[in-house]
C-alpha cells in the first residue's frame, strides 16, 4: 500500500507564504525608493563654456581677450538647476578644463577652491587644444550613474564625442539634460548629442553677459574699483551685512525672505548685484578672490537670518 500523503494543501500554503514574503520585500523596497531624495550633478566642459560665451558676448573665442567670472557663472548654473530640479539635491559641479602637464593655473585653482566644485584636468597640446577631457566626463558620468549616486546629470558641452558618455549614463537609469550657450547665427553643439539627451536648454546673451568682461590692452580697472588695498575678511563680511541691511530697507523683508530657501546660494543675478554693490563700497574688485566672495555671502546671510 502506498503510504504517501497528499501534498496539494501543503504546497499551496508554502506558495502563499512565499508570495506574502515577496510582497513584504517589494513594499519595503518601494518605501525606501520613495523616501530616497533625487540627486543631480552638473558636468561642465570649461573649454566649451569659454569659447561659447566669449563668442556670444565679445565676438571672440580667445581666452586672452576676455575674463570669465567662472565663480559667478557656476553659481548661476547651480541656481538654475535648483529651479529645474526643486526636489533634488546637488551632489557637486564637475569643471573639466585643460592645462599643460595637468598643472592647475591660478584661475583653475580659484575654481577648485569653490564649495561643491571638483576640477578635473585634461592636457593641452601645442595648439592649446584640450585632450582627454571627453574621456574624463564619460568616466565620471558613467561611474556616478552606475553606482546610483545621481538621478539626473546636467551636461554643459557640445562635442559629439560626448554621445557615448550620455548613452552610458542613460544605460544605468540616469536622465541626462544638455545645456548650451546660444550661438550667433548657428549651432555650437553637435546634433547627434542633442538627439540622445533627455532634454535640452540654451542660455542666451542676457544670461551670459554679466559673467564675461572684455580685457583691454592696458587692463584698466573699472572706475571706482581697485584703488584700495585688498580688504580683510572682517571688512568684507561687514559690507555683506551692510548691503543686506540696505536691501531690507529698500526692498522690504518679503523680497529678501524669498531668497532664504536657496541658502547658502544666491540666485545668479542677485549674487552679481551683491558683488557689484560690495565692490563699490570696498573700492576694490573681489573678482578672482573666491574666499572673500564666500565671506561676502556669509555676511549677507548672517544679517538676513538675524532680521527675519
CB atoms within 10 A of CB 228: 10
Radius of gyration of the chain (CA): 25
- Residue 128: the pLDDT is 58
Average pLDDT over the chain, rounded to an integer = 83
- Residue 297: the pLDDT is 86
3-state secondary structure string, the chain?
CCCCCCCHHHHHHHHHHHHHHHHHHHHHHHHHHHHCCEEEEEEEEHHHHHHHHHHHHCCCCCHHHEEECHHHHHHHHHHHHHHHCCCEEEEEEEEEEEEHHHCCCHHHHHHHCCCCEEEEEEEECCCCCEECHHHHHHHHHHHHHHCCCCCEEEEECCCHHHHHHHHHHHHCCCEEEEEEECCCCCCCCCHHHHHHCCEEEEECHHHHHHHEEECCCCCCCCCCCCCCCCCCHHHHHHHHHHHHHHHHHHHCHHHHHCCHHHCCCCCHHHHHHHHHHHHHHHCCCCCCCHHHHHHHHHHHHHHHHHHC
Q: In terms of C-beta density within 10 A (0-12 exposed, 13-18 middle, 19 or more buried), how is residue 254 classed?
A: exposed
Is residue 31 very low, low, confident or very high in pLDDT (cuts 50, 70, 90)? low
- Residue 7: the pLDDT is 53
pLDDT single digits (tens) 129-161:
666 788 899 999 999 999 999 999 999 998 888
- Residue 36: the pLDDT is 57
For the whole prediction, is pTM greater than 0.85? no
39-214: CATH number? 3.40.50.1010
> In the chain, where does the domain assigned CATH 3.40.50.1010 lie?
39-214
> Which residue, 171, 210, 174, is CA-closest to 43?
174
Interior angle at CA 243, CA 237 and CA 245, nearest 5 = 105
Percent residues over pLDDT 70 in the chain: 86
pLDDT single digits (tens) 33-90:
455 579 999 999 998 999 999 999 998 888 888 999 999 999 999 999 999 998 999 9
CA distance 303 to 297: 10
Asked whether the predicted pLDDT for residue 221 surpasses 50, the reply is no
pLDDT single digits (tens) 226-267:
455 788 888 888 888 888 888 888 888 888 778 877 777 777
> Which residue, 236, 255, 254, 230, is CA-closest to 302?
236
Query: Which one is predicted more confidently, 187 or 94?
Result: 94
Amino acid at each position: 500500500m502506498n503510504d504517501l500523503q497528499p501534498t496539494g494543501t501543503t504546497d499551496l500554503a508554502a506558495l502563499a507564504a512565499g508570495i506574502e514574503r515577496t510582497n513584504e520585500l517589494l513594499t519595503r523596497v518601494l518605501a525606501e525608493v520613495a523616501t530616497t531624495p533625487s540627486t543631480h550633478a552638473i558636468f561642465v566642459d570649461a573649454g566649451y563654456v569659454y569659447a561659447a560665451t566669449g563668442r556670444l558676448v565679445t565676438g571672440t573665442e580667445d581666452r586672452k581677450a576676455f575674463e570669465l567670472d567662472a565663480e559667478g557663472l557656476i553659481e548661476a548654473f547651480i541656481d538654475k538647476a535648483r529651479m529645474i530640479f526643486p526636489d533634488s539635491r546637488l551632489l557637486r559641479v564637475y569643471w573639466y578644463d585643460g592645462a599643460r602637464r595637468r598643472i592647475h593655473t591660478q584661475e583653475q585653482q580659484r575654481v577648485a577652491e569653490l564649495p561643491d566644485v571638483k576640477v578635473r584636468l585634461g592636457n593641452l597640446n601645442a595648439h592649446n587644444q584640450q585632450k582627454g577631457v571627453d574621456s574624463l566626463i564619460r568616466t565620471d558620468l558613467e561611474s556616478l550613474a552606475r553606482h546610483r549616486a545621481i538621478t539626473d546629470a546636467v551636461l554643459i558641452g557640445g562635442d559629439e564625442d560626448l554621445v557615448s558618455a550620455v548613452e552610458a549614463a542613460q544605460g544605468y537609469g540616469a536622465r541626462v539634460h544638455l545645456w548650451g550657450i546660444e550661438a550667433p547665427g548657428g549651432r555650437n553643439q553637435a546634433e547627434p548629442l542633442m538627439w540622445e539627451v533627455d532634454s535640452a536648454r540654451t542660455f542666451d546673451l542676457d544670461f551670459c553677459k554679466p559673467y564675461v568682461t572684455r580685457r583691454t590692452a592696458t587692463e584698466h580697472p573699472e572706475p571706482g574699483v581697485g584703488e584700495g588695498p585688498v580688504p580683510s575678511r572682517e571688512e568684507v563680511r561687514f559690507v555683506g551685512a551692510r548691503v543686506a541691511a540696505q536691501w531690507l530697507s529698500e526692498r522690504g523683508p518679503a523680497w529678501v525672505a524669498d531668497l532664504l530657501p536657496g541658502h547658502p546660494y544666491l540666485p545668479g543675478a542677485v549674487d552679481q548685484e551683491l558683488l557689484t554693490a560690495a565692490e563699490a563700497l570696498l573700492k576694490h574688485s573681489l573678482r578672482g578672490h573666491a574666499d572673500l566672495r564666500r565671506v561676502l555671502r556669509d555676511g549677507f546671510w548672517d544679517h538676513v537670518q538675524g532680521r527675519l
